[in-house]
Amino acid sequence: MMWGRSGGIVPQDVCSVRWPVGRPAWLGRRETLCAVLYWVMKYVLLGPLLRLLFRPRIEGVENIPRSGGAILASNHLAVADSFFLPLTVPRRVTFLAKREYFTGRGVRGWLKKAFFAGVGQVPIDRSSAAAAYAALDTAVRLLREGRLLGIYPEGTRSPDGRLYKGKTGVARMALEAGVPVIPVAMFGTDRANPIGSKVWRPFRIRIKVGAPLDFSRYDGLAGDRFVERSITDEIMYALMELSGQEYVDVYAAKVKEQMTAEAGRPHSSAPRQDGAADAARIPRSRAG
């Protein structure tokens, strides 16, 4: 467990816990096991099968630094995104995975839990503001330790393939940890793993990595909501350019709530174009 800034507790994988005084011997062995399991999963158990069935291809991998903390900010089309990005990136990628990924049932749920927990990914609780602060603290610590952190600025999967408004947590992480943000566009994962699908379908996956975004000009401004919104918009603009997706200036979670509400209304006359009025505003190409 970890205490957040507001006193909230967020569960963490034991591989990611920092011990203030000393460290149990068994923990060192556990961390080593997690590190080994990551590469075993990638190159022996799971990776070869995914490569065979989906033939993933990555472009722009040279934009990812070989060492040091950095954020991989990606669009989010499917659960499969969190499998194929680590598979194709040479460095180990740590994701702040939502807690629900660790609580699934059946074979599919077991496989997801085994992958995310087994390779040292960090489950986070998104149920409250306190939990969100705790997740932010965890992310900043990992980045300062030199980790490569994967994050989805939209906060959830796109409900319809469009790119939605980014949440400013990614900007806060970049400013507090002093690391670059690298935009990543996923292609085809929504075809291989459509929302609600029980079985993945073989489909060619493509990943495109953009040039790093440097926000060091804003050093010391973490917590300024206007600066953080501008930075987040710049990140989303880069993702829009990289992915070619239509941008909608509404949070994806809000659209999902509206879609659920509409689905529960009998005799709906016509489908609503949620976010259509805001779609004309695109994120700024450069913060400032």
Answer yes or no: is pLDDT of 138 > 90. Answer: no
Tokens of 262: 């509409």
Residue 71 CA to residue 94 CA, distance in Å, equals 10
Please report whether residue 287 resides in a domain.
no
Q: Is residue 286 part of a domain?
A: no
Classify residue 240: in a domain, yes or no: yes
Alpha carbons within 13 angstroms on the beta-carbon side of residue 159 total: 16
Total domains, the chain = 1
Tell me the residue range of the domain where 179 lies: 2-14+26-264+272-278
Structural domain includes residue 37: yes
Q: What residues contact 234, with CB distance under 8 A and at least 6 apart?
A: 213, 283, 284, 285, 286, 287
Element (H, E) at 182: strand 181-187
User: Is residue 20 situated within a structural domain?
Assistant: no
What per-residue confidence (pLDDT) applies to 272? 46
pTM of the entire predicted model: 0.80
Write out pLDDT tens, residues 55-102.
999 999 999 999 999 999 999 999 899 889 999 999 999 887 777 767
The answer to whether residue 285 sits within a structural domain is: no
- The confidence band for 118, taking pLDDT boundaries of 50, 70 and 90, is low
Which CATH number covers residue 229? 3.40.1130
50 lies in some domain: yes
Q: Is residue 283 part of a domain?
A: no
Closest residue by Cα to residue 194 from 57, 55, 81: 81
Is a pLDDT exceeding 70 seen at residue 23?
no
The terminus-to-terminus CA distance of the chain in angstroms comes to 38
Interhelix angle 169-177/225-243, rounded to 10 degrees, is 110
Instruction: Give pLDDT tens digits for 212-264.
Output: 999 999 999 999 999 999 999 999 999 999 999 999 999 999 999 988 888 77
Phi, psi of 263 (to 5 degrees): -65, -25
